Chains A and B, each alone.
Chain A
Amino acid sequence: MDSALIPEGVKRCSVGKFLIFLGVVGAVLLWGVFAMLLCWIKGLNQTNMNDYYGFALWIWADLAVIALGGGAFFTGFLRYIIGKDELKNIINYAVLIGFICYSSALLILAIDIGQPLRGWFIFWHANVHSMLTEVAFCLSCYFGVLTIEYLPLILENRQLEKVPFFHHLSHNMHEIMAVFAATGAFLSFFHQGSLGGVSGVLFGRPFGYREGIFIWPWTFFLFTWSAAACGPCFTILITKITEKVTRKKLVKDNVIELLAKISGWMLATYTIAKILDTWYWASVTAPSKGFWVLDFYSNNPFYGPWILVLEIIICGVLPALILITESGRKSKPALLLAVILAAIGVSVNRWVMVLQVMAVPVMPFDSWYMYFPSWQEIATTILPVAYGVILIGLSHRYLPIFPQEKELNPVD
């Protein structure tokens, strides 16, 4: 029925099967949309946020998807600026994943601000002393860049490409893509960094506070670094999941291994920097504010000392070691384990820097404050996942996302 829209030379499942898939994921999406409407119509009283947790599940999800979507800017930087030509075979998918992550981040923010109709205030009445203003500027502009990078893929649909204007537009956009990729890398450097900078400048919250260079705390650089390291790992992870679901090889091993090797070295150097940062913070910064390092951890289920071991050793050192060794990258289970751990690691880091910062008591009369999200918060956080799955499904079915698919899966 829709065979005229499917790229030539590739095989796709039947329309019926695809519609069932869309229906199942669409039901989850509708659940999220219902919760989103509740938040917009009834207000933020639908959440479990309170005076302790002004930033909650949404902001963690926001920071996590922005870090995981970092694969788009870093792969684009490697492909267009550094000239790693092999990555042309995965850059389309990295852009699609980045587009999903960033549009999800903006959607979550639109729910989180409570009054989305006033979202433009941050541009018009900008507080130019706030790192979050810089984040809003760069995030919006970079989403524009990702849209521009995704648009040529849509225009390359078999039917759309027959329209001469669309064909020429797509071609012209490809020709100057390096300009957009460089702009994207510039914007990403600053918004990823400023998200880290937000907790780093909180001198009243010694768990997050860091020293640094000029106006930028060390967390500024660590956030950018970790996004560049773990974003491509997430791209590899989603590629592997897509291959499993479609039961096809979509990207050649040498491409995956190259991206994994670069990510591995980025992750290894990041983990060393993170260990040094943690050691300096624990031994110098925190004591100078009157705290001992274990004051920041508790025996409660969310913020125990185990979280430090999980983030730095299990999800930092271990995947880095796997990815920087050739045998680790060539072993499929080890590679999969490494990219899963890296994706979890960066998400745990964002969890710690968003939620634990606020949970740690800073006044003598304070105590550890727990927070568990309401179902509306959970549903609206799952909403972008369903949206992402649908967009990946549609893009994979109708757009030439994987240039090597035809060669790797010849159709008789």
Chain B
Amino acid sequence: MFPFIFEWVWDMSHIVFMGGLWYALSIIGLGMTYCLIKAIADTAGIGIGGHHHDDHH
């Protein structure tokens, strides 16, 4: 639900619930966008920052 939808009401419940949802989705989305863009850049040989090492886990 977005603020421009007719069901939306500017009260604390909507702000907390939907704000929390969009906040979490934004972190997940931005995190994955960063990983994808950096992976494309790394594959193309363009450094974006950070250093490469193989010590995962």
Residue A114 interfacial (CB < 8 Å)? no
Residue B34 interfacial (CB < 8 Å)? yes
- Measured CA separation A144–B31 after assembly (Å): 12
Minimum Cβ distance to chain A for residue B37 (Å): 9
Residue A377 interfacial (CB < 8 Å)? no
Assess the B24–A172 pair: CB atoms within 8 A: no
Assess the B13–A128 pair: CB atoms within 8 A: yes
- Measured CA separation A89–B38 after assembly (Å): 27
Minimum Cβ distance to chain B for residue A278 (Å): 31
**Provided the pairs A128-B14, A137-B20 are in contact, do residues A165 and B40 lie with their beta carbons within 8 angstroms?**
yes
Interface string of A139-150 (1 = CB under 8 A from B): 001001100100
Interface string of A162-197 (1 = CB under 8 A from B): 001100111111111001100100110010000000
Residues of A contacting B14 in the complex (Cβ-Cβ under 8 angstroms): 128
Residues of A contacting B27 in the complex (Cβ-Cβ under 8 angstroms): 179, 183
- Measured CA separation A125–B2 after assembly (Å): 10
Minimum Cβ distance to chain A for residue B39 (Å): 4
Nearest A residue to B29, CB-CB: A144
Residue A279 interfacial (CB < 8 Å)? no
Residues of B contacting A170 in the complex (Cβ-Cβ under 8 angstroms): 56
Interface majority SS (helix, strand, loop, mixed), chain A: helix
Assess the B24–A176 pair: CB atoms within 8 A: no
Assess the B57–A174 pair: CB atoms within 8 A: yes
- Measured CA separation A156–B54 after assembly (Å): 11
Minimum Cβ distance to chain B for residue A128 (Å): 4
Nearest B residue to A134, CB-CB: B17
Residue A152 interfacial (CB < 8 Å)? yes
Query: Which residue from B5, B20, B31, B36 sits with its C-beta under 8 Å from A169?
Result: B36
Query: Which residue from B32, B38, B52 sits with its C-beta under 8 Å from A148?
Result: B32
Total A residues in contact with B, Cβ cutoff 8 Å: 38
Residue A91 interfacial (CB < 8 Å)? yes
Residue A92 interfacial (CB < 8 Å)? yes
Assess the B21–A137 pair: CB atoms within 8 A: yes
Residue A48 interfacial (CB < 8 Å)? no
- Measured CA separation A141–B25 after assembly (Å): 7
Minimum Cβ distance to chain A for residue B28 (Å): 5
Assess the A168–B42 pair: CB atoms within 8 A: yes
Nearest B residue to A79, CB-CB: B57
**Provided the pairs A125-B7, A164-B43, A165-B43 are in contact, do residues A171 and B31 lie with their beta carbons within 8 angstroms?**
no
Q: Which of B14, B31, B34 lies at the interface centre, i.e. has the most chain A CB atoms within 10 A of its CB?
A: B31
Assess the B42–A172 pair: CB atoms within 8 A: yes
Minimum Cβ distance to chain B for residue A154 (Å): 13
**Provided the pairs A128-B13, A129-B13 are in contact, do residues A92 and B57 lie with their beta carbons within 8 angstroms?**
yes
Minimum Cβ distance to chain B for residue A37 (Å): 31
Residues of B contacting A176 in the complex (Cβ-Cβ under 8 angstroms): 31, 34-35
27 inter-chain pairs at a CB distance below 8 angstroms, sorted by A residue, are A88-B57, A91-B57, A92-B57, A124-B1, A126-B18, A128-B16, A134-B20, A137-B24, A141-B21, A141-B24, A148-B28, A148-B31, A156-B56, A164-B42, A165-B43, A168-B38, A168-B43, A171-B39, A171-B56, A172-B39, A173-B35, A174-B56, A174-B57, A175-B50, A179-B27, A179-B31, A403-B57
User: Other than the known A129-B13, A176-B35, what 4 A-B pairs have Cβ atoms closer than 8 Å?
Assistant: A128-B16, A141-B25, A148-B32, A169-B35
Listed in ascending order, the chain B residues whose CB lies under 8 Å from chain A are: 1, 5, 7, 13-14, 16-18, 20-21, 24-25, 27-28, 31-32, 34-36, 38-40, 42-43, 50, 52, 54, 56-57
